[in-house]
């Protein structure tokens, strides 16, 4: 039964996507919406059934794809705890977001394109997660990138949106190149591209090769998961519709990099250098994202930077070798970040598409349901004790601390500092958007349903900790589930130490909350006044994302444009076009010149003829002499 | 053979030059140009006949007979065209017929 479930899980969204793309414009709108949602929920149902039927990790080969020469790539799927938990999460979150989209996009005329892309995205993401061979994974990888590009630029009539789409596509492409190189190299080394086989053969290679492979996969993950230094595309990706931001740029696609590294951890875990590089990337990115989120004024950009930061945590977890903790955080993050984005979508819809948080306020009274859900999401993000985010973030920090060594302990402290900042900016958002103010909103019937979608996500975020409770509370379901994974090394830690760590993390989160309360809750009026003034240098630095965009513009884009200008104006126009044009005009001129000779007068021809004959005769006479 | 070949060739080339001069210079009248062409052709025939007499081979004489037939055919065509041209523009001046300029 398992192969049937998995095949159907993939085929449902593909069917939905193709139907919407090919016939969506001819079908009635309601039918398209219902069909698009039904296919994703069908896919989720298959995932649940597969989970029920699941017993042990299993490779399921559906068909042969390449069999020529040495290269053998079957279309095969790999179901293990990692991919199973991902598929269930993807089906559920994407299903909810599809329902939400129906109401969010009610005014938009391009519903067929929207739902086609959304469904195709689900298909590509499931392919990425389930693919047993790396080329299949790569196809899914590119598929999600492509759908993401089209959805960021969904409202392409505005050039800024189209530019954001292109930026995302080009930036992630840099990572994709690294992935492509890594795949080719893996095939050259091992003669196979099967994930399970490659994972078991890492010990055959010298450490330096594994390190290089690990770095290449890390670069791929940097692009897709918006890690430093390839993170610049994610804040701009908020140009897309809000449900798209929730689904692709928060909950699912951007975690693909983390998933890739977790998937290949048995291979690259053989190199401590690669692991350290992953951990450092994650730690720095987490800090970077959190600091940038502090200064943003756009509601969605705050959430975008918080996504960058949270994915940094996941990378940190993978770098510490803790796949369970990273996946735990990945799942919980998917729930609460989708919740936050969808809540933000409700706020934006209610505020006539105003996104500046300094122009909001008082929504606590007018949108109570959104407020409570958003509060839960923010609490999870901040890691307030006993929410899902608290347990998952703490398990990562614990794993990093236990890894030992100066580097990891420094990263632990950085992570703790980031947690403090995270709590602060999460509640800055809550206080600015929901407290004070007049709370005047624009209501519509769709808004009610959109708010209802938030409830299941809020429950999952709040109680997500139950997935993997710490050992002193009876042990975790996820840890037991992941025990069989080759890299899922369980942490042996005393209960006292674990409790001490969690108390510390909880205190840090509450400190951040208190600081946010004093600064933005009590001092709200003052902050509002400050917001009118010109921002200070530090705020500007953070608001612009540490000026990374400007740096890249200066270091990469300007020289590139100068090069392009040179090649365009000097080489293409100046040399190639000019030589071809010159040849053409030269021949034309010669033709006109010679054409003057053919006057149509018989006499001229005759004289020319006679002169030619005389020349030939003279030449012959000269030869004879 | 009382006349040496060189004399024949000199007379022939003089005739050819005069014919060519007539064709080039007298373009106000297309009939005079035709006469010039005839003179040039006659010069060629004279060369053939002279060569034939010099080497004692009949080929040159045969060829000059063929040339006579060819010339008469050519002249009949050319005169027909002259009549046609005269009808069109009421003139036989070749400079008036320059519609084929490039």
CB contact under 8 Å between B100 and A600, yes or no, is yes
Task: Compute φ and ψ for A538, nearest 5 degrees.
Answer: -65, -45
Q: Is residue A132 one of the residues assigned to a domain?
A: no
Residue A355 vs residue A570, higher pLDDT: A570
pLDDT of residue A488: 44
- pLDDT tens digits for range B48-91: 999 998 888 999 999 999 999 999 999 999 999 999 988 988 88
The residue among A601, A613, A617, A621 with the most chain B CBs within 10 A of its CB, best to mutate, is: A601
Residue B101's pLDDT is: 72
Show the tokens assigned to A225.
């998961």
- Domain with A314, as residue range(s), is 271-546
**Does the distance separating the beta carbons of B102 and A600 come in below 8 Å?**
yes
Query: Which one-letter DSSP state was computed for residue A158?
Result: S
In a domain, B84, yes or no: yes
B37 within some domain: yes
| Structural domain range at position B54 | 5-91
Chain B residues within an 8 Å CB radius of A595: 102
Q: What is the pLDDT of residues A41-84, one digit of tens each?
A: 999 998 888 888 888 788 888 888 888 777 788 888 888 888 88
Per-residue pLDDT band at A343 (split at 50, 70, 90): confident
Residues A307 and A431 placed together within one structural domain of the fold: yes
Q: A306 with A290: CB under 8 angstroms?
A: yes
State the smallest CA–CA distance between residue A582 and chain B in angstroms: 23
Q: How confident is the model at residue A492 (pLDDT cuts 50, 70, 90)?
A: low
* Residues A597, B20: C-beta atoms closer than 8 Å: no
How many angstroms separate the CA atoms of A447 and A454, rounded?
Answer: 11
The pLDDT assigned to A470 comes to 67
Give the gap in angstroms from C-alpha B24 to the nearest C-alpha of chain A: 6
Q: Closest approach of chain B CAs to the CA of A585, in angstroms?
A: 18
Q: Are residues A575 and A542 part of one domain?
A: no
For A599, name the nearest residue in chain B, comparing CA atoms only: B101
A352: three-class secondary structure by DSSP: coil
Q: Considering the domain boundaries, does residue A135 fall inside one?
A: no
- Which of A594, A603, A617 to mutate to test binding with chain B, by most B CBs within 10 Å of its CB? A603
Across the interface, do A603 and B94 touch by the CB < 8 Å criterion? yes
- Return the structure tokens found at B35: 């006469």
Asked if residue A374 belongs to a domain, the reply is yes
Considering CB atoms only, which of A596, A600, A607 is closest to B24?
A607
Residue B102 pLDDT > 70: no
Decide if A608 touches B, using CB distance below 8 A.
Answer: no
Is the model's pLDDT at A489 over the cut of 70? no
Does one domain contain both A523 and A573?
no
Assess A595–B contact: CB distance below 8 Å, yes or no: yes
Chain A residue with CA closest to B17: the answer is A610
Nearest by CB to residue A610, choosing from B20, B94, B100, is: B20
Q: What is the dihedral of CA A434, A415, A213, A271, to 10 degrees?
A: -150
Contact at CB, B102 and A601, closer than 8 angstroms = no
Task: Give yes or no for residue A493 having a pLDDT over 70.
Answer: no
Closest CA to A114 of A82, A177, A156: A156
| Phi, psi (rounded to 5 degrees) for A27 | -85, 155
pLDDT of B65:
93
pLDDT score for A625: 82
For residue B102, tell me if it sits in a domain: no
pLDDT digits (tens, 9 = 90+) for A159-203: 888 888 888 898 888 889 999 999 998 888 888 888 888 888 877
Burial of A549-564, coded b for 16+ CB within 10 Å and e otherwise, reads eeeeeeeeeeeeeeee
Are the Cβ atoms of B24 and A600 closer than 8 angstroms?
no
Chain B interface includes A602 (CB < 8 A):
yes
Instruction: State the pLDDT confidence band at A500, using cuts at 50, 70 and 90.
Output: confident
Tokens of A304: 């975008």
User: Chain B contacts of A601, Cβ < 8 Å?
Assistant: 94-95, 98, 101
Q: How far apart are CA A118 and CA A131, in angstroms?
A: 20
| CA–CA distance, A522 with A527 (Å, rounded to integer) | 10
Are residue A314 and residue A435 in the same domain, yes or no?
yes
Chain B contact for A621 (CB, 8 A cutoff): no
pLDDT digits (tens, 9 = 90+) for A393-441: 888 888 888 887 888 888 888 888 888 889 888 888 888 888 776 666 7
Sort out which chain B residues have CB atoms less than 8 A from A597's CB and list them. Answer: 102
Note whether A1 contacts B: Cβ–Cβ < 8 A.
Answer: no
Q: Count the domains in chain B.
A: 1
Q: Is A184 on the interface with B (CB under 8 A)?
A: no
Region A126-142: mean pLDDT is 90
CB-based contact, A592 to chain B, within 8 Å:
no
pLDDT at B70: 92
pLDDT digits (tens, 9 = 90+) for A504-526: 888 888 888 888 888 887 777 77
Q: Cα separation of A77 and A132, whole Å?
A: 5
Same domain, A288 and A275: yes
Q: Which residues of B touch A (CB under 8 A)?
A: 20, 23-24, 27, 33, 94-95, 97-102
Tally of domains within chain A: 2
Residue A595 has its nearest CB partner, among B33, B98, B102, at: B102
Predicted local distance difference test score (pLDDT) of residue A346: 84
The residue-averaged pLDDT of A538-566 equals 84
Closest chain B residue to A600, measured at CA: B101
Contact across the interface for B95 and A601, Cβ inside 8 Å? yes
What is the residue-wise DSSP string for A471-514? GGGT--HHHHHHTTSTT-PPP---HHHHHHHHHHHHHHHHHHHH
Does residue A597 belong to the interface with chain B, where contact is any CB pair within 8 Å?
yes
Closest Cα to residue A371, out of A390, A344, A353, A334? A344
Burial (Cβ within 10 Å: 0-12, 13-18, ≥19) of residue A327: buried
**A82-111 average pLDDT score:** 86
Residue A259 within a domain = no
**Residue A134: inside a domain, yes or no?**
no
Range in A37-41, A310-314, A535-539 the model is least confident about: A535-539
**pLDDT at res. A299:** 86
The CATH number that applies at residue B31 is 1.10.287.3510
Q: Phi and psi at residue A107, in whole multiples of 5°?
A: -80, -15
Instruction: Give yes or no for a contact between A283 and A316, defined as CB atoms under 8 angstroms apart.
Output: yes
Burial letters A591-606, b for 16+ CB under 10 A, else e = eeeeeeeeeebbbbeb
Average pLDDT over residues A584-602: 87
Whether residue A600 lies within 8 A of chain B, CB to CB, comes out as: yes
Return the pLDDT at A487: 46
The complex's ipTM?
0.82
- The β-bridge relationship of strands A73-79 and A58-66 is antiparallel
- Per the model's pLDDT, the better-predicted residue between A7 and A444 turns out to be A7
The answer to whether position B96 is within a domain reads no
pLDDT value of residue A475: 61
Pair (A375, A424) in one structural domain: yes
Contact state of B98 with A597 under an 8 Å Cβ cutoff: no
- For residue B23, the chain A residues in CB contact (below 8 A) are 606
Domain membership of residue A425 (yes or no) is yes
Q: Which two tokens stand for residue B63?
A: 């060829």
Among A502, A521, A546, the domain boundary falls at A546
* C-alpha B43 chain-centroid distance: 8
Q: Which residues of A touch B95 (CB under 8 A)?
A: 601-603
Residue A590, pLDDT > 90, answer yes
Residues of chain A contacting B27 with CB distance shorter than 8 Å: 602-603, 606
Asked if A600 and B23 come within 8 Å (Cβ–Cβ), the reply is no
pLDDT of A491 reads 55
Do A441 and A347 fall into the same domain? yes
Q: Minimal Cα–Cα distance from A621 to chain B, Å?
A: 15
Closest C-alpha to A293, from A122, A95, A425: A425
Q: Which of B33, B95, B102 sits opposite A598 (nearest CB)?
A: B102
Give the percent of chain A with pLDDT over 70. Answer: 94
Per the model's pLDDT, the better-predicted residue between A480 and A237 turns out to be A237
Q: Do A603 and B95 touch (CB under 8 A)?
A: yes
- In this prediction, residues A149-153 reach a mean pLDDT of 89
What is the nearest CA distance from B96 to chain A, expressed in angstroms? 8
pLDDT on residue A562: 92
Q: Is A599's Cβ below 8 Å from some Cβ in B?
A: yes
Collect all residues of chain B within an 8 Å Cβ-Cβ radius of residue A598: 100-102
Q: Looking up tokens 């068909």, which residue turns up?
A: A63
Minimum mean pLDDT among A32-36, A205-209, A465-469, A563-567: which range?
Answer: A465-469
Nearest CA in chain B to A603: B24
Helix (H) or strand (E) holding A185: helix A159-190
More confident residue, A503 or A39: A39
Contact residues on chain A for B100, CB-CB shorter than 8 A: 598, 600
Smallest CA–CA distance, residue A601 to chain B, in Å, is: 5
């Amino acid at each position: 039964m398992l192969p049937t479930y998995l095949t159907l899980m993939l085929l449902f969204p593909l069917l939905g996507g193709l139907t919407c793309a090919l016939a969506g414009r001819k079908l009635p709108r309601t039918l398209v919406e219902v069909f698009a949602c039904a296919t994703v929920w069908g896919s989720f149902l298959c995932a649940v059934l597969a989970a029920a039927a699941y017993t042990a990790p299993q490779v399921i080969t559906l068909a042969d794809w390449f069999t020529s020469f040495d290269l053998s790539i079957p279309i095969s799927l790999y179901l293990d705890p990692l991919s199973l938990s991902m598929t269930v999460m993807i089906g559920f979150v994407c299903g909810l977001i599809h329902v939400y989209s129906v109401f969010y996009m009610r005014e938009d005329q391009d519903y067929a394109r929207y739902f086609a892309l959304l469904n195709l995205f689900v298909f590509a993401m499931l392919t990425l997660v389930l693919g047993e061979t790396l080329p299949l994974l790569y196809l899914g990888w590119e598929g999600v990138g492509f759908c993401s590009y089209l959805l960021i630029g969904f409202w392409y009539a505005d050039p800024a949106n189209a530019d954001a789409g292109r930026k995302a596509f080009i930036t992630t492409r840099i990572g994709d190149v690294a992935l492509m190189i890594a795949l080719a190299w893996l095939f050259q080394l091992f003669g196979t591209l099967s994930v399970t086989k490659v994972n078991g053969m890492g010990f055959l290679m010298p450490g330096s090769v594994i390190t290089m492979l690990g770095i290449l996969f890390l670069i791929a993950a940097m692009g897709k998961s918006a890690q430093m230094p390839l993170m610049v595309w994610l804040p701009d990706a908020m140009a897309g519709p809000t449900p798209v931001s929730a689904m692709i740029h928060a909950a699912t696609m951007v975690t693909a990099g983390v998933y890739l590294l977790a998937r290949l951890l048995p291979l690259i875990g053989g190199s401590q250098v690669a692991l350290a590089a992953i951990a450092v990337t994650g730690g720095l990115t987490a800090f970077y994202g959190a600091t940038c989120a502090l200064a943003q004024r756009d509601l969605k950009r705050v959430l975008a930077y918080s996504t960058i930061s949270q994915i940094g945590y996941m990378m940190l977890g993978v770098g510490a070798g803790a796949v369970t903790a990273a996946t735990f955080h990945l799942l919980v993050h998917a729930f609460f970040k989708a919740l936050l984005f969808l809540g933000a979508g409700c706020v934006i819809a209610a505020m006539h598409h105003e996104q500046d948080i300094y122009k909001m306020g008082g929504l606590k009274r007018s949108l109570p349901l959104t407020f409570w859900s958003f509060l839960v999401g923010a609490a999870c993000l901040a890691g307030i004790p006993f929410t899902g985010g608290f347990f998952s973030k703490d398990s990562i920090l614990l794993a990093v601390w236990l890894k030992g060594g100066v580097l990891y302990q420094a990263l632990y402290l950085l992570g703790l500092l980031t947690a403090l900042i995270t709590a602060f900016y999460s509640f800055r958002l809550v206080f600015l958007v929901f407290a004070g103010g007049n709370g005047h909103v624009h209501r519509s019937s769709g808004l009610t349903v959109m708010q209802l979608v938030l409830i299941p996500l809020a429950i999952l975020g709040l109680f997500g900790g139950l997935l993997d409770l710490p050992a002193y509370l009876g042990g975790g379901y996820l840890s037991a589930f992941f025990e069989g994974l080759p890299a899922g090394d369980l942490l042996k830690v005393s209960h006292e130490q674990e409790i001490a760590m969690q108390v510390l993390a909880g205190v840090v989160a509450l400190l951040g909350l208190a600081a946010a309360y004093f600064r933005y809750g009590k001092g709200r009026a003052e902050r509002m006044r400050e917001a009118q003034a010109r921002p200070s240098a530090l705020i500007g630095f953070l608001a612009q994302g540490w000026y990374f965009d400007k740096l890249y513009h200066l270091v990469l884009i300007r020289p590139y444009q100068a090069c392009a200008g040179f090649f365009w104006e000097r080489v293409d126009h100046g040399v190639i076009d000019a030589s071809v044009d010159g040849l053409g005009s030269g021949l034309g001129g010669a033709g006109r010149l010679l054409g003057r000779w053919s006057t149509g007068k018989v006499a001229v021809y005759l004289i020319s003829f006679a002169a030619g004959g005389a020349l030939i005769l003279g030449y012959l006479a000269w030869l004879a002499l | 053979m009382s006349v040496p070949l060189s004399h024949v060739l000199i007379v022939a080339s003089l005739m050819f030059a005069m014919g060519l001069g007539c064709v080039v210079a007298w373009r106000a009248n297309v009939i005079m140009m035709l006469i010039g062409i005839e003179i040039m052709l006659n010069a060629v025939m004279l060369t053939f006949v002279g060569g034939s007499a010099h080497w004692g081979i009949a080929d040159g004489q045969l060829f000059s007979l063929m040339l006579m037939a060819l010339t008469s055919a050519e002249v009949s065509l050319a005169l027909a065209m002259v009549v046609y041209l005269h009808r069109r523009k009421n003139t036989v001046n070749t400079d008036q017929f320059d519609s084929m300029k490039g």
